[in-house]
């Protein structure tokens, strides 16, 4: 039996069921008799990314078979250079991002044809600077960020019209300081993250209304301690990431009650089978498990040594450092330093 002041039982630290969450992630590819496994086939690559980030955060990144994961991810790359969510699925920026993130975490980016990825991503930007998610043309601030993030891993952001992306992102900013999915779209915490992260990588955070946006994000905390994504909506564990990541970049994480947020995240755990749900009483999934642990990391949960998460790339900070991409920190406006 392990001992320790903060450890209530084996594998539990300050209420965080570490061992059960690891077992939960390990079990996800063994549930072939469950309909949910087949209904989420299109998310398989992203599911691996979410699971791998969760494992990294609790120091169990070697849980999955590295070679098998890399081989599977490589099999999802299409002839156009992009990746689908599963073998044989159409290429999309969302899954291309997840695939690249997985390969970077395994230090295996050199195992794919990077030039084809760069060509696929840069080819989705139109003459106005706006970026589509795939060949069908849906445009969204998510895709603007993803294109910048992916190409930054290849040192190829110069293949994009970055001024056009900055203009598109800034035109998507609203009177409340938040950002929408496109110009005129309602402010939403997840879109705020994508816009702030894109501007951070490009060194253009001067385009953010720091005070107004920080206030809007802090107002996302509700009575139970959790965070919502926009006014009048329910709290959800995933916003522990979407809100705190932006507040971290803005230097304003202390504007929310982090202890109460940690308690909310812990209350959404499945203490029997592992995993974290969107809110207490619901069914756990790997998406909320990942972002719940990210939220705990950003909130400074101190009962277990969680890895530091990079608030721009949603990957362990030490891996982003290894990739030479923590330079976004040096691009934060100097006027923010004394406030």
Q: What is the pLDDT of residues 329-339, one digit of tens each?
A: 999 999 998 65
The closest alpha carbon to 285, from 89, 34, 90, 8, belongs to 34
Q: Contact 297/287 with Cβ under 8 angstroms?
A: no
- Does the pLDDT at position 140 exceed 90? yes
The pLDDT of residue 30 is 78
Rounded mean pLDDT, 189-204: 98
Q: pLDDT for 165-187, tens place per residue?
A: 999 999 999 999 999 999 999 99
- Does the pLDDT at position 37 exceed 90? no
CA torsion angle for 143, 129, 82, 157 (degrees, to 10)? -100
Backbone φ, ψ for residue 59 (5° rounding): 75, 25
CB atoms within 10 A of CB 308: 14
Q: pLDDT for 280-291, tens place per residue?
A: 999 999 999 999
Q: How many CA atoms lie within 13 A of 127 on its CB side?
A: 0
d(C-alpha 250, C-alpha 196), whole Å: 9
Q: Which helix (H) or strand (E) holds 321?
A: helix 317-322
Counting residues of the chain whose pLDDT is more than 70, the rounded percentage is 95
Q: Contact 196/203 with Cβ under 8 angstroms?
A: no
Q: Contact 69/102 with Cβ under 8 angstroms?
A: yes
* Rg of the chain, C-alpha, whole Å: 19
Q: pLDDT for 286-332, tens place per residue?
A: 999 999 999 999 999 999 999 999 999 999 999 999 999 999 999 99
The pLDDT of residue 5 is 46
d(C-alpha 68, C-alpha 84), whole Å: 17
d(C-alpha 332, C-alpha 315), whole Å: 19
Q: Contact 162/148 with Cβ under 8 angstroms?
A: yes
Chain centroid to CA 136: how far? Answer: 24
The pLDDT of residue 2 is 42
- Does the pLDDT at position 1 exceed 50? no
Residues 6 or more apart whose CB falls under 8 angstroms from that of 195 comprise 141, 144, 145, 169, 172, 173, 179
Q: Contact 63/26 with Cβ under 8 angstroms?
A: yes
Q: Contact 96/147 with Cβ under 8 angstroms?
A: no
Q: Contact 160/152 with Cβ under 8 angstroms?
A: no
Question: How many Å from the N-terminal Cα to the C-terminal Cα in the chain?
Answer: 47
- Does the pLDDT at position 39 exceed 70? no
- Does the pLDDT at position 7 exceed 50? no
- Report which DSSP code applies to 88: T
- Does the pLDDT at position 34 exceed 80? no
d(C-alpha 171, C-alpha 59), whole Å: 40
d(C-alpha 119, C-alpha 116), whole Å: 5
The pLDDT of residue 35 is 64
| Residue 334: exposure state from Cβ atoms within 10 A (0-12, 13-18, ≥19) | exposed
d(C-alpha 112, C-alpha 58), whole Å: 28
């Amino acid at each position: 039996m392990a001992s320790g002041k903060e450890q209530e039982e084996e594998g539990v630290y300050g209420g965080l069921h570490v061992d059960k969450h690891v077992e939960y992630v390990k079990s996800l590819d063994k549930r072939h008799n469950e309909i949910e496994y087949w209904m989420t086939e299109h998310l398989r690559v992203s599911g691996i990314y979410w699971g791998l980030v969760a494992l990294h955060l609790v120091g169990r990144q070697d849980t999955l078979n590295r070679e098998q994961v890399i081989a599977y991810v490589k099999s999802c790359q299409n002839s156009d250079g992009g990746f689908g969510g599963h073998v044989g699925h159409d290429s999309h920026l969302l899954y291309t991002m997840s695939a690249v993130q997985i390969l970077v975490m395994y230090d295996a980016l050199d195992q794919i044809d990077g030039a084809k990825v760069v060509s696929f991503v840069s080819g989705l930007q139109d003459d106005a600077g706006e970026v589509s998610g795939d060949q069908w043309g849906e445009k969204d601030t998510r895709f603007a960020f993803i294109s910048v993030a992916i190409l930054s891993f290849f040192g190829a952001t110069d293949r994009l019209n970055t001024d056009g992306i900055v203009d598109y992102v800034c035109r998507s900013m609203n009177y409340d300081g938040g950002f929408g999915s496109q110009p005129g779209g309602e402010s939403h915490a997840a879109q705020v993250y994508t816009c702030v992260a894109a501007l951070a990588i490009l060194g253009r955070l001067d385009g953010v209304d720091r005070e107004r946006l920080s206030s809007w994000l802090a107002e996302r905390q509700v009575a139970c301690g959790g965070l919502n994504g926009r006014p009048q909506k329910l709290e959800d564990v995933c916003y522990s990431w979407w809100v705190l990541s932006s507040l971290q970049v803005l230097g304003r994480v202390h504007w929310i009650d982090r202890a109460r947020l940690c308690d909310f995240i812990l209350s959404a755990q499945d203490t029997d089978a592992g995993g974290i749900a969107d809110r207490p009483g619901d069914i756990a999934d790997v998406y909320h498990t990942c972002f719940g642990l990210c939220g705990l990391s950003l909130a400074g949960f101190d009962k277990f040594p969680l890895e530091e998460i990079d608030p721009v790339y949603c990957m362990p900070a030490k891996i982003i450092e290894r990739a030479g991409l923590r330079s976004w920190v040096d691009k934060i406006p100097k006027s923010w330093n004394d406030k």
